[in-house]
Structure 1
Amino acid sequence: MQDGLPPDWDCRPIADRHRAGLEALGLWLVDATRRPVPLKGLFPGFCERVAQTIVPAWRIHIGLEVLHPEISGTMLVWSDETIEFGERARQGVMQSTGYLTSPTKIVDDTERAYRRRLDGDVGDMPLLQELQQQGSTDYLITPLPFLDTSRTRFLSFATRQPGGFDDDDLKALDTAARLFSPYAERQVWKRIALDLLDTYVGARTSQRIVEGQIERGEVDWIEAAIWLADMRAFTRRSETNAIRDVVAMLNGWFGDMGVAIEAEGGEILKFIGDAVLAIFPVTAETDRGTACAAALAAAEAFCAKVDATNAERGLAGPDAVDFGIGLHLGEIAYGNIGAARRLDFTVIGPAVNRASRLEELTKTLRRRVLVSEPFRDACGRPLLDLGRHVLRDVEGTHRIFGIG
């Protein structure tokens, strides 16, 4: 057939001329993966062996969809013995012209391999037009036989050999893809697991979970600068605005805060309604002063961002977004707390309570950011002394400081 695949092409036996190369490829994959190896490290060797010992493909492309809030998928393209890595943004990718006019879309829709000879008209597929201009004579894309068939996963092959692929070549390439598939799927699931953990519990916490800290009640005592922030008048806003607008507002609020916190090395642990709990841990590499200075810099950056956003949107008075942030330095219990089958990796302790009470006090003192005396002492920056104040449910009075 000029275009498409011959009938029962995938049921035909492997040709003798391909058998030795495929057997060697399978043995190499087993040996190469005895030790953990990333896909970037495994894929070039796979491509070289396919091109040199099985079918002379000059370009081999693997595309794998992942679960990530910002990234749709990853790809590796081996061409003329060079390797290119790329990631696609999630937003709008399935509606993009590049996807809708691609062979990938055909494979996603049909769950079947697609072959196109490139010695004639290739229609309105920009990728195939580009490959044709680069001297390709034939193209095959095949879905990888993952257990999870709900996401994009494919290998494609292009050749410059005169006449393109014969029927035996197609069978050999499909077999090579099937040999590689289990290793690719293992990498995808690892990437998905780590990305989801990072997304929902944060990078530091996800690392602890992966390392096995999953038993209920298992906690570590750590020292950290603690950040507790809360939006002003959120109840009024949620009562008087459509839920879609409230969600958009919260996403903007959390997004800007996340940028400020992460830029200074902090980590968001929890969203509590419209409130945010974050930490800037004290470690062997980060002393108390550095952790507190980072938290204060993040608070100042966030204040500036909120002011700029309010100005851009013409928001003033009660319509302007406002907030309070409490910053404290202390020891916290960091670990697994919850029910037997529903755990939460979080922080608790008197230090967290004090950060929360400082945030409450911002309303009374009409200050956006309040810090405790231990935080001020460690920070090493001159701050505004606001006197001694009572913190709810905390014994005694406490010196409180603000930023100018």
Structure 2
Amino acid sequence: MSTRTAVTGMSAATALGLGTEEYWKAVLAGQNGLRELSRFDTAGHPAKLAGEITEFRGADHLPGRLLPQTDISTQIALAVADWAIEDAALDPEKVRDYDMGVVTSNALGGFEFTHREFNKLWSQGPQSVSVYESFAWFYAVNTGQISIRHKMRGPGAALVGEQAGGLDAIGHARRTIRRGTPLVLTGGVDSALDPWGWASQQAGGQVSVESDPRYAYLPFDERAAGYVPGEGGAILVLEELTAAMRRGAPRLHGEIAGYAATFDPKPGSGRPPGLKQAAELAIADAGLTPDAIDLVFADAAGLPELDRAEAGALNELFGRRKVPVAAPKAAFGRLYSGGGPVDVLTALLSIRDDVVPPVAIPEPSRHFHGLDLVVGEPRSADVDTVLIQARGRWGFNSALVIRALRA
């Protein structure tokens, strides 16, 4: 058995659209999915914009029995998993149940569900709390619900690393395949756009309070003043390459070629952050050098200090060579565990279509910290190998290398 890991199915849900092609069309058109939150009255909140998915209704995609026991984040995860399985032309009934695993990441838990039940507890008493509160809030619930729905009884895991967690899940899924499980569903989905979830995100001090969606999330721009939270994510079907070919998988989107994770040193230690090292290790894990990278999907925090640090790491990594940098999340928000997987899906589409998606920045300044940030219009380019970066709060760094699948 080879150790090569292929992506045979994928799908996403973001504020730019449901499903791979709807999302990709909006990205290439430079659409902006940031808008004022509609789920509650944001009066009194300094931040009012979010990457809210307004077109998703759980009842349109899932059986009624699942709705009362799941948070919106889990409903999105289940629907996107269904779409990824369909894209892979996978019939779980025809695969041995213990040969299929599920590895997902989650950073926020079932915020909306659990806060609704807490409100019942405080206002109506414990007898009014849903029995499903025992698990609907939990970080592992998406892994569990996907596993149950599709009878995937192989290895399962749930990783928590904030924005870095989605790449960690994909890296762990690749490791699971190398250990002998032929197929693993992986990725991440998050949502916390209820009143308490919204307040908790603002409390971190990194959320943009700009009221104009065009200027709210401007990574690497001199006007950057924070990020805009979003909801959604992506799910991928990963398979060991020979097993995928034996199954007759109709699409081989690309290969998970390298992965690494690091942790920042203690503040004040004088040691540099670990993002550059994560990228170097991921590239080395793929058996490559930085010269092989055609495109970078940046973490793109939208905060001046963090953007300068990431730009510095990339400039050191590539030297005088200017590698195109993409940050499509500026148009649909920072998705926490869902952000990295959406970047991976987008990078696979970039490979497929030989195009770099633009960052939705109006009237772009030229202060991009020396980066070749692609703005305004899509850029045609030969894209074969892509580096994806993600950072989680409190020091998590992850990097993934994907490339066109060469048999």
TM-score (norm 1): 0.19
**Larger % of helix: which?**
1
Q: TM-score, normalised by structure 2?
A: 0.19
If you compute each CA radius of gyration, which structure gives the higher value, 1 or 2? 1
More strand by share: 1
